[in-house]
Structure 1
Amino acid sequence: MRSRTRPEATMSGPDFIPAAVRARLRDLRLDGRRATGGHGFGQHRSRSRGAGLEFAQYRAYEPGDELRQVDWKLYARSDRFFVREAERDSPLTAWVLVDTSASMAQGDAARSGWNRLDLARGLAACAFELALRQGDQFGFAAIGGDGLHLVPAGAGPRQRDRCLLGLHALRSGGGWPDEGRLRPLWERIGPGHLVLVLSDGFDEACIGLMEKLSAARREVMHLQLLTAEERDFPFRGGHRFRDPESGEERVTDAPSARAAFLAEFTDARRRQHARLAAAGIRSDVAWLDEPMDLPLRRLLAPGAAERA
């Protein structure tokens, strides 16, 4: 069995983010390839020019320019007025979609009392924190047996608290709802919005939704939430496996089934990643026994968008 960095043992109160993880979030940022200029200022470069935060070029002063944009040091050297022009920073609207179907209740012995839905809560809270720090808008949707539950996009600490309350209310159960019940998503998630999907990726309808969102010019990222037991298959002797959504059970001799399972499971993940990449969707795996910032770091690393 491969060794893993030991995840933080405790959560940080009601916000789901351990203190050590929160400290490591400082150098992460949500970013979208399709971020465009719009309303307000955020931390995402657009092609428009204005009084943003990052220097782009000098130009000659024109009547109506704000005096604070004048470079007075350059004036002292040249006796001419020049204005520092910057690339305007555009706000991002980010959405976190959490799968709450029955399979998200799956945990394993590698981390007792911790399951896929717990990890989804923590990852979602991290995404809200990043968006809050960046001055972006963000919203939240839970999708599962109870249908669709939405927290409309907003900004600021109160919006973060509304989303955290939504995370506290999450319960896993049932299967993926039919397409008709997800129609409100299309009314809220607009073109160019960033969508982070937190799911085990086992429902074909979930994969189909991501593909449709990406085809409709939404920026989609996916973290597949998987257990350490699915990665390592450490079982011994006879073992009963049960599908939490269908109830179907299978009894097998674990040691003799290990090689075939790992080969099939690895191949299935590889094929799913290739399918999502073909649709322009960034994807990675979040394992239950690793610190929650690690999959975010892989997914949001520079160049991850180009690799998708």
Structure 2
Amino acid sequence: MAPPVPPLIPADVRSRLRGLRLLPARASGSRGIGLHASRSRGAGLEFAQYRAYEPGDELRQIDWKLYARSDRFFVRESERESPLTVWLILDASASMRQADQARRDWTRLHAAKALAGCVAELALQQGDTFGLIAINGDGLQLLPAGNGLRQRDRLHLQLHGLQARGQWPDSGRLAPVWERIGAHDLVVMIGDGFDEAAIALAERLASAGRDVVHLQLLTVEERDFPFRDGHRFRDPETGQELLGDGPTVRAGYLARFAEARRTLDARLQAAGIRHDTAFLDEPVDAPLQRLFGTRGRGT
């Protein structure tokens, strides 16, 4: 019997997602995204009016204070924002197999899958549609945008089966990205930020008017470089190897790593791309809390 598949989103993380909202940075008057509320009524965000309770209404919508004053049941109606389409672009190239020596069972790809599941959960909470484009050496794996619990199940199934391999394909094989992602969709890219082709795609999407969020995942060893003796460092995508003594190369490595992060941050900032970097020892929802929590909302 095969071992049970662990849940994509840990229970403690799932509970913390309830306080987050996916907010697009760019409002659209034509589709009512963000600051422009639609005229549809329901259990939305901005209070619109009261109406009499009807069978089938959720009890949580009843205004109990008003009931205490009037002895009648009234439901609070709100203006709902028009549905948003959220696209997850997931880097599944070979470098996403990287893990820390202290925890080999938690790779960048594991964290990326969990993070993608969290974003989909937020979209589900909001009644939004969501889809997945996973990219690796095999090309693109596509889950068309949809909504509801069955769509979430399809997403989880595809994520569980996803493996990190190869390098990013050339731009000619990325045509489905442009065919699927609409002008007002929210794009959440998750990867290690090491592939120039991935960053170029993020910049191109942003320059074409797409609302892009980039979430970078890095290992603790990349951040701290804790190696104390000789090591063989191997690039999982190219196979190139480098022999080096940890203490000797540490200072130079950390300086170059910091400069590479500053350069990437500057490129994403210049392109108008919201971004955050998370390390594998952080809670998986940490970048979402920073970007879509109370403090990060709308920034």
After TM superposition, the score normalised by the length of structure 2 is 0.84
Q: CA deviation at 1:299?
A: 2.3
Structure 1 stretches of 4+ moved >3 Å = 12-15, 35-39, 47-58, 84-88, 301-307
Q: Which residue of 2 aligns with 1:5?
A: none
Residue pairs, 1:129-278, within 5 angstroms: 129-278=121-270
State the Cα deviation string for residues 37-89 of structure 1 (Å, max 9, x = none).
Answer: 678x9x9441555546455789xxxxxxx976xxxx9xxxxxxxxxx996551
User: Which amino acid in structure 1 is aligned with residue 234 of structure 2?
Assistant: R
- Which blocks of at least 5 consecutive residues in structure 1 are unaligned? 1-11, 59-65, 74-83
Q: Provide the C-alpha distance between the structure 2 equivalents of 1:27 and 1:303, rounded to a whole number of angstroms.
A: 12
Q: Which residue of 2 aligns with 1:63?
A: none
- Aligned-partner SS, 1:89: coil
Q: CA deviation at 1:304?
A: 4.0
Q: Which residue of 1 aligns with 2:69?
A: none
Q: Provide the C-alpha distance between the structure 2 equivalents of 1:209 and 1:251, rounded to a whole number of angstroms.
A: 33
State the Cα deviation string for residues 154-188 of structure 1 (Å, max 9, x = none).
Answer: 00000001111110111111100011111011111
- Aligned-partner SS, 1:139: strand
Q: Which residue of 1 aligns with 2:36?
A: 46
Identity fraction in percent: 56
Q: Is the 8 A contact 2:25 2:298 kept in 1?
A: no
User: Which amino acid in structure 1 is aligned with residue 107 of structure 2?
Assistant: N
Q: CA deviation at 1:111?
A: 2.2
Q: Provide the C-alpha distance between the structure 1 equivalents of 2:145 and 2:232, rounded to a whole number of angstroms.
A: 43
Match of 2:283 among 286, 291, 294: 291
- Aligned-partner SS, 1:180: helix
State the Cα deviation string for residues 213-270 of structure 1 (Å, max 9, x = none).
Answer: 1111111011111000000000011111111111111111111211111111011101
Q: Provide the C-alpha distance between the structure 2 equivalents of 1:25 and 1:32, rounded to a whole number of angstroms.
A: 17
Q: Which residue of 1 aligns with 2:23?
A: 31
Q: CA deviation at 1:300?
A: 1.9
Q: Is the 8 A contact 1:121 1:167 kept in 2?
A: yes
- Which blocks of at least 5 consecutive residues in structure 2 are unaligned? 53-65, 67-75
Q: Is the 8 A contact 1:49 1:87 kept in 2?
A: yes
Q: Is the 8 A contact 1:50 1:85 kept in 2?
A: no
Q: Is the 8 A contact 2:127 2:147 kept in 1?
A: yes
State the Cα deviation string for residues 191-221 of structure 1 (Å, max 9, x = none).
Answer: 1111111111111110000001111111101
Matched length: 274
User: Which amino acid in structure 2 is aligned with residue 46 of structure 1?
Assistant: H
Distance change >3 Å, CA 38–CA 130, structure 1 → 2: farther
Distance change >3 Å, CA 217–CA 227, structure 1 → 2: same
Q: Which residue of 1 aligns with 2:100?
A: 108
Distance change >3 Å, CA 196–CA 54, structure 1 → 2: closer
Match of 1:20 among 12, 24, 31: 12
Q: CA deviation at 1:36?
A: 3.8
Q: Is the 8 A contact 2:37 2:82 kept in 1?
A: no
Q: Provide the C-alpha distance between the structure 2 equivalents of 1:54 and 1:204, rounded to a whole number of angstroms.
A: 39
**Bigger Cα displacement from structure 2, 226-235 vs 247-256:** 247-256
State the Cα deviation string for residues 97-116 of structure 1 (Å, max 9, x = none).
Answer: 11111101011123231111
State the Cα deviation string for residues 5-51 of structure 1 (Å, max 9, x = none).
Answer: xxxxxxx9554111111111111121112354678x9x944155554
Q: Is the 8 A contact 2:46 2:80 kept in 1?
A: no
